Chains A and B, each alone.
Chain A
Amino acid sequence: MVASKHAGTYPIMWWVIAVCLVVAAQPVMAEGFSSVFTMDESSLEPDGFDLAGTAGFAFSYGFEAKGDSRVTALPALDLDLSWSNGENEVFAGLTLEPHAMDDTLQWDEVIDQLYLRRYFPWGRMEGGLMKREWGKGDGAHVVDPLNAMDQRYGILPDLNEMKIAEMMASIQVQKGDSALELVYKPFFQPMRLSLTGDWAVVDASMASLIDADSVPDTHTLAYSQFAAHARTIWGPADIGLIYYYGFLNQPGYEILAVDPVTYYPTSVGLRYTQAQLFGGEAALAVGPFTIMLEGGFWLSEDSAGTEPSLYNHKFVYLAGFDFTVPKTALFVSFLWNGQYILGFDGLSAFDVDSLQSYDGKAHADTLILTLQLPLVDQRLETRLTGMYQLESSGYLIIGACTWTPDDDLSLELSVNLYGAAQGDTAPQSVFKRWMDNDSASIKLNYRF
């Protein structure tokens, strides 16, 4: 797995907890429009503490897995603890949800988010372990740089669930329906990937070359990042501008040693590319459609595009729409997202840009279609998502059916199917690597 050296220690977390406890010793208030309505309703909670969550378990069956890994049975507990006194808010989201039977949970996997927020008449300030979602796409984005993805267990139906919460401080200035948010991240969290096992993203031979001592310590101020997000409503559109100064969270590598005879690398070190993102977003209601647009340019530190261990500049784009089919409750969402790497010809096997390209091409495009249909008075929700990667002909199909007999209990049946063009000459992709990871699962959850 690719991880930074200091993933298990986080002194700032204790600072956050301490501040949370201090702030928590404040008066409390009720929720809802308490200043408008009288407070004699028993369902208005008289204090500012709130506990919500889900508890349950899941059985999964891997169609092509071998031996004991074919079936897993895992418990799951999600707790959302929040406290508010109107001006201050503290939130802790805890997730005790192992992905595999032999999984050892790290503290930063257990604490899904932990932050405190202070509201002012002009906006808000917040700090802690947080997740942000920037961009207007339905779940998928190309201008959403603040949280890296955890791809160690494949692709989850909710892409935001794959995000890794990161330490950040934010200040947001609000004026009417316009807002400007400035974010500072002291450290850098790279994408988490598996190098071995079912969810490996590279060949075992490549993984064995990585020099463990070369993994950069990204929890230093040298890896600080800054971002800004301005947004407003302009006529029938919500528009925004995004700027990020930091690093591409996909790791690259540099060759440390080569075989003197074959010149094939015998040792590689991980390296991250410093980059800036200039992006824009828009959501527009046009007739029955909500149109979603995102676009951006990643300006790499490798300005000439000649350094093979650094990623090149690239354009990223996303366009899509969603709508509810008239006279039905069928919700349809379609997204097309992609990237174009500048100065990449796919000829050099040791250019890191080949890690983010498919079939050696500079462009990479993915289509995502989601159909969602509630049935039986919305007690039965059916959902089908298809993801198709054009250059590699790789695909993922996720089918899910959730039965909610009452507001608190839900039973979900789901199937994940990975596939890609086959054969020795077929383009390499994670979809092809993960073809044997098809699975079905049953989840029972109780919400409280």
Chain B
Amino acid sequence: MNDTKKAPFGTLIAIILWLAMMPAVYAQTDLPSPTGSMIMEQVTEGQKASSSAMDIQMTLIDTKGTQHSRRLQILSRTESQETRTITVFLSPASVKNTRFLSVERPDGGDDQWIFLPALGKVKRIAASERSGSFMGSDFTYADMASFSYGKDEAQHTLLRQENLGNHTCHVVESIPKTVSDYGKTITWVDTTTFVAIQVEFYDSNGSNPVKTLTSENIQQVDGKWVARMMTMTTLATGHKTHIEMSQVTYNVTLDPAYFTVAFLETGRI
């Protein structure tokens, strides 16, 4: 009996002691309390892979609910800090065989080319077109490259922690250090998987949200947590773009010949 009374008391003492010692433990082991920057670094790390391959169904949904579907495949490969991404549209007929190649270099000098089958010619496109709609969707070309700013690309501030649906999330505000399409973003990051569950994109003043991205169906693929369904909504119009990844794989061996202007032109390696 006494033993049973002692046990909770002892446990309580232990908890109090642990709580009291916690700052000291952090100090001794240099474990930092999570900051916005650390969280977004985790998000970026979670997205990193030497290569990836995605087969995507993209559905454009207007305010009347009318849907238009596109099917595309995206391959990405990183080598020597240079990331090359090739996107190929498979349907519908109006955009079939449209191909897009982007090269992101570590020095920030990006190159982009597009192949439009109607022209039968590869065209280099400038950075300004990165803010343009990606094939009529609510995503810009820049959004397709990344939904979040890297650790050093923005000033990240952890605003709070809150529940969003079934997810416990860090809420992080990111203000880009250089001129960007968005004045700021607020990202809800799952505390366990570090997947961005929701992102609000703000106008250039950072005062009004212009788009919202929501993620669903979080699954682990090749050791990485991935949102297999995402929806981007343009708030002013109510137009939505829904993305569903029917196939996704990471760290797969991809022939470098896919990531060339020659492939862009011919669709063959």
Contact = CB atoms under 8 A, between A and B. Distances in A.
B176 interface: no
Nearest to B128: A288
Interface in B218-269: 237, 239, 246-247, 252, 254, 258, 260-262, 266-268
Interface string A262-281: 00000000000000000000
Contacts of B112: 285
A224 B216 CA distance: 62
Interface string A35-49: 011100101100000
Interface stretch (A9-17, A171-179, A428-436): A171-179
Interface in A396-428: 404, 406-408
B88 A33 contact: yes
Contacts of A374: 133, 136
Contacts of B131: 324, 326-327
* Majority-rule SS of A interface residues: loop
- Chain B interface extent, by class: 35 or more
A33 B127 contact: no
Contacts of A287: 126-128
B73 interface: yes
A329 B132 contact: yes
A177 to B, nearest CB: 5
A327 B128 CA distance: 9
Interface stretch (B18-26, B35-43, B92-100, B189-197): B92-100
B262 A174 contact: yes
Contact of A236 (B75, B111, B119, B128): B111
A365 B32 CA distance: 66
B268 to A, nearest CB: 5
B85 to A, nearest CB: 13
A32 B73 contact: yes
Given A33-B73, A324-B128, A326-B128, A179 B262 contact: yes
Lowest 3 CB-CB distances: which A-B pairs, in order? A288-B128, A378-B136, A290-B126
A286 B124 CA distance: 11
Contacts of B246: 41
A50 B239 CA distance: 32
Given A32-B88, A38-B247, A407-B93, A290 B53 contact: no
B106 to A, nearest CB: 15
B124 A447 contact: no
Contacts of B55: 32, 37, 41
A233 interface: yes
Contacts of B152: none
Contacts of A36: 53, 73, 75, 252, 254
Interface in A283-306: 283-290
A378 B267 CA distance: 26
Contact of A377 (B53, B62, B75, B252): B62
A160 interface: yes
A33 B75 contact: yes
